[in-house]
Structure formats: structure tokens, C-alpha cells
């Protein structure tokens, strides 16, 4: 995923535009959402280029799935030529527009930078470096100095989270098996 310069305290990167789709200004996007259906709750978004130039907030008019990607129609983009100009751009959402679903974060990068602890408050595992999806579920890549841990983001393991930390209850052996020192 490309890096775009934006104010992370105001925005969340929720996807990138892959290319134009069709002749009427629709675009194909690669979402960075835990569940694609969360995209249906979004009313407005902002596009950003690699150079940091951003659009004004744009209305999201239509969303439909296509495999692991989505086809979306954004207000003011009405032709294939206009849609072609957005290829490679990032899609930002204002943090104030984030809607939470059943106490689960909608946007996987909300975990990035948080401290990971076990239910024993003295046992800090590390800091979430990134969250990736290998197909079955999201995996947190947690780093503690030279040590790296791969921790599945599932209800049975992630007990709670807030804006500063994630509390996990790992099954016996999970941290040892998924530690970089054991790979």
C-alpha cells in the first residue's frame, strides 16, 4: 500500500483507487477495511495524491462489491477520463466520520501504533507495527525491539482495545509459536 502524506490525527487511509471502471466515472478501489460492508456507511471521503494534494470532501454515491475490491461512484467524477486521473490516489476518511460496529474497529490501521498487553497488566508484548490480511483474518504484526509477533485479530484473542492499547488473551503457546525468534 502506497504511503500518502496526510494528517493522521484528522484522517484515516481507507483504501486506494486501482483504476477507472466503465465509462461513467466509476472507480475500482482496494479497501483497507476489516469488512467491505463498512464502506456502505461512508457518506463523504477525500482523495489524496502521492504529493499530498487533496480534494475537498466528496460525496460517495454508490458502492458495490467485485471480489476483494469495490466499485464506487464518487460525486463530480462523471467520465472515464476523469476517473483515469484518480488512479493510484488514496482515499481518506475524516476520523470524526468513523462509525464503529459492535465494538470492532472498522479500519484495521486504527490498531497501528497501539501497545499490546496481555490481561496481566505487567506483560507488554510490544507495539502494533501493521495489520495485514492473509485471507482468513487480520493479523497484527507486533514488534518489541528485535522480536516480532504475529497475532490474529479475532474475538477469542483480542479482549479489548481503546485509543492507546490492545489487551489480548493469547492461547497457550501462541506468542512463542508466532515469535520471529522461532521462524
Question: Structural domain tally of the chain?
Answer: 2
Asked if residue 146 is part of any domain, the answer here is yes
Together in a domain, 19 and 84: yes
| Residue-level pLDDT at 146 | 87
Together in a domain, 149 and 76: no
Together in a domain, 82 and 156: no
- pLDDT tens, residue by residue, 51-103: 999 999 999 999 988 887 889 999 999 999 999 999 999 998 887 776 654 44
User: Is residue 128 classed exposed, middle or buried when 0-12, 13-18 and 19+ CB atoms within 10 A define those classes?
Assistant: buried
Any idea what the CATH number is for the domain that residue 170 is in?
2.30.30.240
| Residue-level pLDDT at 102 | 47
Among candidate residues 75, 96, 117, the one where a domain is terminated: 96
CA 56-48-137 angle, to 5 degrees, is: 120
Amino acid at each position: 500500500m502506497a504511503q500518502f502524506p496526510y494528517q493522521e490525527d484528522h484522517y484515516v487511509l481507507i483504501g486506494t483507487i486501482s483504476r477507472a471502471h466503465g465509462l461513467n466515472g466509476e472507480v475500482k478501489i482496494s479497501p483497507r477495511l476489516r469488512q467491505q460492508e463498512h464502506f456502505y456507511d461512508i457518506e463523504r471521503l477525500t482523495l489524496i495524491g502521492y504529493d499530498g494534494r487533496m480534494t475537498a470532501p466528496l460525496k460517495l454515491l454508490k458502492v458495490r462489491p467485485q471480489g476483494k475490491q469495490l466499485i464506487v461512484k464518487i460525486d463530480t467524477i462523471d467520465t472515464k477520463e476523469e476517473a483515469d486521473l484518480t488512479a493510484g490516489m488514496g482515499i481518506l476518511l475524516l476520523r470524526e466520520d468513523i462509525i464503529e460496529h459492535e465494538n470492532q474497529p472498522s479500519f484495521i490501521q486504527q490498531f497501528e501504533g497501539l501497545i499490546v498487553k496481555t490481561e496481566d497488566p505487567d506483560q507488554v508484548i510490544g507495539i502494533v507495527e501493521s495489520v495485514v490480511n492473509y485471507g482468513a483474518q487480520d493479523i497484527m504484526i507486533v514488534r518489541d525491539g528485535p522480536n516480532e509477533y504475529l497475532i490474529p485479530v479475532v474475538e477469542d484473542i483480542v479482549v479489548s482495545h481503546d485509543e492507546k492499547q490492545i489487551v489480548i488473551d493469547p492461547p497457550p503457546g501462541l506468542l512463542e509459536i508466532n515469535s520471529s525468534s522461532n521462524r
